[in-house]
Structure 1
Amino acid sequence: MPEQLTKHPEVTLQVLRSAGAKCAENAPQAILTQCPAERFCKLPGGEICVYGLPQARNMTQITAADWRALLQSLDNKTGSSALGADGLAGAGIGITAGLLAALAFRRARR
């Protein structure tokens, strides 16, 4: 049975409930026994454990080696760390340029 990682676990739980899943109702956990009760959903076809990003380290099906491989694949794809200073600096420059362009446009309209 899968563990799911999402940026929006409460929304995911709500969607599962709307499809008939019993979530956070202390349903018996046959397979995902380490899933926190408030993140556990039972469906007719199986079980799901929904984790938010802050709880990712508690997942049991994804190992530290899996996370390292994922980060390495992101580094290789972007040419630098996806979470590194280069990316943040680039975003800052882009935001600053956009603000300056908006200010220049606003002044030109006056």
Structure 2
Amino acid sequence: MPEQLTKHPDVTLQVLRSAGARCGEGETQAILRSCPPARFCKLPGGEVCVYGLDGAPAMTQFTAADWQSLAPLARGSADADAAGPWSGMTVAIFVAGVAAGALAAAVLARWRRGSRRG
């Protein structure tokens, strides 16, 4: 029977209940015995244990190798997050440059009109 990891365990439990699962109701845990009772769901076809991120260390079906295989994905996300502010800074500099260029063009155009008159 599966253990499920989600960022939104309460929503997942609500969805399972809407499909007829009995969750957190003191059902007999035949297979997922270490599942916290509040996170345990029994369905006609089996059992499910829904873990939130804070409960991930208590999961029994993932090995250390499984968690380590996810580490490069987390590092990639962290790298993208770290680059985010610099990307935003680049955009801000670009926008400021365009604005300064437009202002300079407007000043130059006005100056040229004024120098033609006099």
TM-score range, shorter chain: 0.7 to 0.9
The number of equivalent residue pairs is 100
Instruction: Output the TM-score relative to the length of structure 1.
Output: 0.76
Matches within 5 A, 1:36-75: 36-72=36-72, 74=73
1: distance between equivalents of 2:88 and 2:38?
Answer: 39
Check if 1:94 corresponds to 2:94.
no
Paired-residue identity, %: 59
Shift of 1:83: 4.9
Deviation at 1:65, TM superposition (A): 1.4
Q: Runs in 1 of length 4+ with deviation above 6 angstroms? A: none
Q: Quote the RMSD (CA, aligned, Å).
A: 2.7
User: Counterpart in 2 of 1:2?
Assistant: 2
Cα distance in 2 for residues equivalent to 1:28 and 1:89: 46
Greater helix content: 2
In the alignment, the residues of structure 1 paired with residue 43 and residue 3 of structure 2 have an alpha-carbon distance, to the nearest angstrom, of 14
Over alpha carbons, which structure has the higher Rg? 2
User: Match of 2:49, as an amino acid?
Assistant: C
TM-score normalised according to structure 2 size = 0.71
Structure 1 stretches of 5 or more lacking a match?
A: 76-80
Query: Any idea what the Cα deviations from partners look like across 1:54-76, whole Å, max 9, x if unmatched?
Result: 1111100001111002224x37x
